[in-house]
């Protein structure tokens, strides 16, 4: 009987040690995860059920139009559907790595309505770029969250007929400056796929600084650039 009791006590002690080590290990894992997931000081915090989205201070806080010398930014609306896809050419699709499926009417309708819905929910800003001289839509520019705790990522496109005209440069300046002012944050990001050298060069031209690469496993996944509030 004494041997049995001694064995049971020894077993319980070993079990308690294992439980203790397991609890310690899980606690350290939780601490590491917490530290890794902490945002950088300049980043906006996510809210809601989707950790990969952020909420703007208020969609109404941003003007429906931002007028420049060469172009005017106008918040995307339903009436922009046809002129939007008139300019959303094969070259633009290639820049975004979109497949031929993006040429179908069903895809266009779904894409456009989703972008409008996200803007209405306060998860992104999407402005259409209108040429002042021609009074026609020539491209688009948006800001959305990309990674968790991100302060916002900019994306843009313009029809190839308007490359090198200065329109995209002015559009970027107008939106970035207004966004940083309204959100009251000091930085905005741009993520560019390594193959897209045109966009990478454009971001640097538009005042973004290359700060490094994001990684996917052992591979470089995106160029990461930042532009700072003046």
Report pTM: 0.74
Average pLDDT across the chain, whole number: 79
Worst-scoring range by mean pLDDT, 10-19, 23-32, 96-105, 204-213? 23-32
pLDDT of 223 above 90: no
Q: pLDDT tens digit string along 196-213?
A: 888 999 999 999 999 888
Q: What pLDDT, on a 0 to 100 scale, did the predictor assign at position 194?
A: 83
- Cβ neighbours of residue 225 under 8 Å, at least 6 residues apart? 189, 190, 191, 192, 200, 203, 204, 208, 209, 210, 211
Burial letters for 127-161: b for 16+ Cβ neighbours within 10 Å, e otherwise?
A: bbbbbeeeeebbbbbbbbbbbebbbbbbbbbbbee
């Amino acid at each position: 009987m004494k041997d049995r009791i001694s064995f049971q006590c020894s077993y319980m002690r070993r079990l308690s040690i294992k439980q203790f080590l397991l609890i310690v290990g899980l606690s350290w894992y939780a601490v590491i995860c917490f530290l890794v997931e902490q945002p950088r000081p300049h980043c906006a915090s996510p809210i809601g059920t989707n950790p990969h989205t952020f909420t703007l201070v208020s969609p109404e806080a941003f003007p429906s139009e931002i007028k420049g010398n060469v172009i005017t930014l106008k918040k995307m609306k339903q009436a922009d559907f046809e002129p939007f896809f008139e300019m959303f050419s094969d070259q633009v699709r290639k820049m975004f790595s979109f497949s031929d499926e993006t040429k179908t009417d069903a895809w266009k309708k779904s894409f456009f309505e989703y972008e409008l819905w996200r803007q209405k929910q306060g998860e992104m800003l999407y402005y259409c770029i209108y040429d002042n001289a021609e009074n026609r839509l020539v491209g688009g520019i948006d800001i959305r969250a990309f990674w968790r705790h991100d302060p916002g990522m900019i994306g843009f496109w313009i029809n190839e007929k308007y490359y090198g005209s200065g329109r995209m440069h002015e559009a970027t300046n107008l939106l970035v400056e207004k966004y940083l002012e309204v959100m009251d944050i000091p930085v905005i990001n741009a993520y560019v796929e390594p193959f897209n050298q045109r966009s990478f060069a454009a971001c640097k031209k538009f005042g973004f600084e290359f700060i490094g690469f994001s990684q996917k496993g052992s591979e470089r996944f995106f160029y990461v650039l930042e532009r700072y509030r003046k």
